[in-house]
Amino acid sequence: MFKHKVFVIDAAAIFTKYVLQLTFPLYTTPQIVNEVRDKKDQEVLETIRITGRFTIRKPSEKNIRKIIGLSKDMGEFSSLSEADISILALALDLIDEGKKPVIITDDYTVQNVAKSLGLSFQPIRTRGITEIRKYIILCPACGYIAQDETMKYCPKCGHKLTKKPIKTSQA
Ligand SMILES: [Zn+2]
């Protein structure tokens, strides 16, 4: 059912700010949150936290073991980080609860394991070609990224903002 659709996000969904375009309830794990150390990325986390539709949850041991076992059978275990395993296991937990999770990830190993479990996933960059702007408005002094493209000066340090092109993959 459409109403039970939720997104399980990996760290790339935060680093790229793609998460700000998602409208359904969001889930992730403490392992993913631990990867978010940069101040700008923590601000993105804080932004989605404020919306009240963001849940950080540890996956069950049962489904962690299931992911480890399956990925070993597939020969993918060594390519998976603890954080990768955690979001795959969390997606299985959500299915057990009757939800329809979609994993947001660009990681091919995560996608591969998800596919073999029948889990839905959605890449970031391939969608980004049509949905993400081809440039960002950036402060060259402090690294602030403006959401509003009409802004001229950095609200943090007052430096003049510049337009910076984003590399997009055509693959
Ligand atoms: Zn600045």
Query: Could you read off the pLDDT of 1-24 as tens digits, one per residue?
Result: 455 889 999 999 999 888 888 877
| CA 55 to centroid of ligand 1, rounded, Å | 31
Q: What's the average model confidence in pLDDT over 150-162?
A: 89
Phi and psi, residue 115, nearest 5°: -60, -40
Please state the pTM of the whole predicted model: 0.71
Summarize pLDDT for 20-57 with one digit per residue, the tens. 888 779 999 999 999 999 999 998 998 888 877 899 99
What type of residue sits at position 51? Answer: T
The pLDDT-based confidence of 163 (bands split at 50, 70, 90) is: confident
**How far does the centroid of ligand 1 lie from the alpha carbon of residue 155, in Å?**
7
Task: Tell how far the Cα of 158 is from the centroid of ligand 1, in angstroms.
Answer: 6
Cα(169) to centroid of ligand 1, in Å? 28
SS3 54: strand
Tokens standing for residue 79: 């390519």
Q: What is the mean pLDDT of residues 67-89?
A: 94
Q: How far is the CA of 160 from the centre of ligand 1 (A)?
A: 8
The pLDDT mean for the chain works out to: 86
According to CATH, what is the number of the domain 2-127? 3.40.50.1010
Please return the burial class of 33, using the count of CB atoms within 10 Å of its CB with bins 0-12, 13-18 and 19+.
Answer: middle
Map out the domains of the chain as residue ranges: 2-127, 133-165
Average pLDDT over residues 101-107: 93
CA dihedral 127, 132, 135, 139 (to 10 degrees): -120
| pLDDT in the model for residue 166 | 63
Q: What's residue 136's pLDDT?
A: 75
